[in-house]
A and B are shown apart, each in its own frame.
Chain A
Amino acid sequence: MTVAGSRGTLPEPATYSGRFRIPQSVLGYALILLPLIVMGTLILYPAFLSITDTLTERSPGGSLQVSLADYVEFFNTPLAVRNLAFSLRITAVTVAVLFLAGFPISLYLRFTHGRLGNLIQMLALFPLFVPGIIAAYALIRFIGDNGWLERFLHLLFGYEGFTSPYLRPAGIVVGLAWEGISITVLILTAGLSQIPDSLLETATDVGANRWQAFWRITMPLMKRSVLIVLTLNFLTVFGSFTIPYLLGPASPEMMGPYMRRTFYDANLPSRAQVQAVITFLISAVISLLYVRSVVSQKVEEES
């Protein structure tokens, strides 16, 4: 059996001749217990608690009963619905932008070798090495009013009609796309590198042209990587906070900043909980697709 990044198969466990012999499975479970507890208490329990909290209500008699009142209230609040729709729109646009920018770069990197390719790869992976908060700060200076971008456009093309995307919806898309491009390219190039040259060559040998080879071989084999990229980007963008908070408009705002404002500024934790669960429910299908494609990939690697 192997896991991500391992090579070959794992040999049978060595038989150490210790004085005490604890069954290996017991020892194994004991060693992995701690991180499982941490994950249970810090991820699964809070999520579960929020779901049950928001779905139940204490009746005047004191007993708990299932109630959708919190959710009805959410969807009857125009501001909340507007922010949710805004978040979904920004997410859809950003995921599309990332894919449309990342896929050609990955294709280029897959089919080219040499110094230019290496340089392009380095540039594409560079944002991975820039912490989010520093990237946000740099982007504000770059795309903001009188920023470098505006100066470039002015001096090179004499363009004067620049409106800065900073503090506008487009600012969020720019920031999240800047941050997400590395992972997108990384996942897509990893997927493309699994398609052997020989397979594409065989296709042309039997008379397929370049487009046919691309659509009939490359694309079907890329289905899983593409699915992973789209779902992971959706979850990352939909669940983001720092970029929309710093680069986006004050209203409408994405769910991240909205939830924080509800929790902290308005001091309404239970209402923030409802908003959080709604983000869970909306991305549940996407999460499922993401987990399923990752797990199927890993299981395939194992066998």
Chain B
Amino acid sequence: MVRHGVVGRSLRLIAGWPWLGICLFLLLALVVMGPMLNVFLWAFTRNWAYPSLLPTVWSIEFWDDTFARADILEGFIASVWISLIVTGLSAVICLPAAYAFARMQFPGRTFLLLSFLATNAFPRFGLYITIAVIFFRLRLIGTVPGVVLIQLVNTLLFMIWIPTAAFQGVDRALEEAALDVGASPMRVFVQVTLPLVAPALAAALLLTFVGTFYETQGALLVGVPEVRTLPVVMIRLINNQVVVQYGAILSVALWVPSLLLLIFAQRVLRGNTIASGFGV
């Protein structure tokens, strides 16, 4: 593509100052990757004296200790279960609605679809406090149902918007062709529509599961003291400052699998799907 005019000149300007991009890159690399790399190193450290840039004594001895801790194990199990329940519940509630939003005509459809942005329009923690006050009266504080319900709030928007976009992306000609040759609507849905939207649905489920697994503020506000998910356990590790390595190992062990899942989800979704959830 031949570039000229303003764009061309901007390009030449940037190309003429390669250090601009390189400086931006180095700065971002330090600020963005620095903290993560630092935690990575801490997970394999026994001793790290100031001012050495690298651990002074390397070791993996804390890994066994970390996973032998009862609170971490229990937190992990609680997080997995609660995230599975929230994701399943959210799917049951939202997926049929997404289908309706994508495929059916009814008055107020656009308005109702946009109304799910309401979750973004409140200062989040203030909203959680008002929910917690009701849960307090209903004696849902410190219970699993309480945590599930407050975490459900977070999942609605993406669980409706991503599948709605996916159902709308299916080429109707394919379905109509199947109908024409005599397939039942149910069979068309299962054998034609579903396989086409499956990757996007899987991405929505993954995003919801990972997002719920690490959801911290709702779980802390409503779950404590009886229900402690893993992020809540991590908060306690941070506040008590026991051993730096516990938190670091937990971060590395959990973050790497979640990163792979999120990258997969991002690959499947079209570039702007996540941005669209924020109103772009």
Contact = CB atoms under 8 A, between A and B. Distances in A.
Do they bind each other?
Answer: yes
Interface of A: 1-7, 10-11, 13-14, 16, 18, 24-25, 27-29, 31-32, 34-36, 38-39, 42-47, 49-50, 53, 104-105, 108, 111-113, 116-117, 119-120, 123-124, 126-143, 146-152, 154-155, 178, 181, 183, 186-187, 190-191, 197, 200-201, 203-205, 208, 210, 213, 225, 228, 232, 235-236, 238-242, 245-246, 255-256, 259-260, 263-264, 269-270, 272-273, 275-277, 279-280, 283, 287, 290-291, 293-295, 297-299, 302
A144 to B, nearest CB: 10
A287 B121 contact: yes
B210 to A, nearest CB: 8
B267 interface: no
25 contacts: A1-B110, A3-B161, A5-B273, A10-B168, A13-B105, A14-B175, A16-B179, A29-B106, A31-B97, A31-B104, A42-B131, A44-B118, A46-B133, A108-B21, A117-B21, A134-B39, A137-B248, A148-B38, A181-B32, A210-B10, A235-B121, A239-B124, A255-B126, A290-B120, A298-B279
A239 B127 contact: yes
Given A42-B149, A123-B28, A126-B33, A141 B168 contact: no
B224 interface: yes
Contact of B274 (A142, A186, A245): A186
A75 to B, nearest CB: 17
Interface string B120-154: 11111111111111101000000000000110110
B272 interface: yes
A53 B136 CA distance: 14
A141 B213 CA distance: 23
A280 B106 contact: no
A1 B104 CA distance: 11
A134 B130 contact: no
B279 A34 contact: no
Interface string B256-273: 001100110010001011
A200 B6 CA distance: 6
A146 B50 contact: yes
B125 A136 contact: no
A138 B251 CA distance: 8
Contacts of A146: 50-51
B165 interface: yes
A239 B134 CA distance: 19
Contact of B106 (A25, A197, A275): A25
B157 to A, nearest CB: 10
Contact of B7 (A7, A138, A201, A277): A201
A256 to B, nearest CB: 4
Contact of A120 (B25, B113, B172, B263): B25
Contacts of B77: none
B21 A133 contact: no
Given A32-B97, A190-B272, A263 B129 contact: yes
B169 A7 contact: yes
Interface string B208-222: 001001101100110
Nearest to B93: A34
A25 B107 contact: yes
Nearest to B279: A294
Contact of A111 (B11, B104, B118): B11
B7 A232 contact: no
A263 to B, nearest CB: 6
B100 interface: yes
Q: In this complex, which of A116, A129, A139 has the most chain B Cβ atoms within 10 angstroms of its Cβ?
A: A129
B169 to A, nearest CB: 7
Contact of A239 (B18, B107, B126, B213): B126
B197 interface: no
Interface in B78-122: 92-94, 96-97, 99-107, 109-110, 112-122
Given A3-B168, A128-B274, A239-B126, A134 B106 contact: no
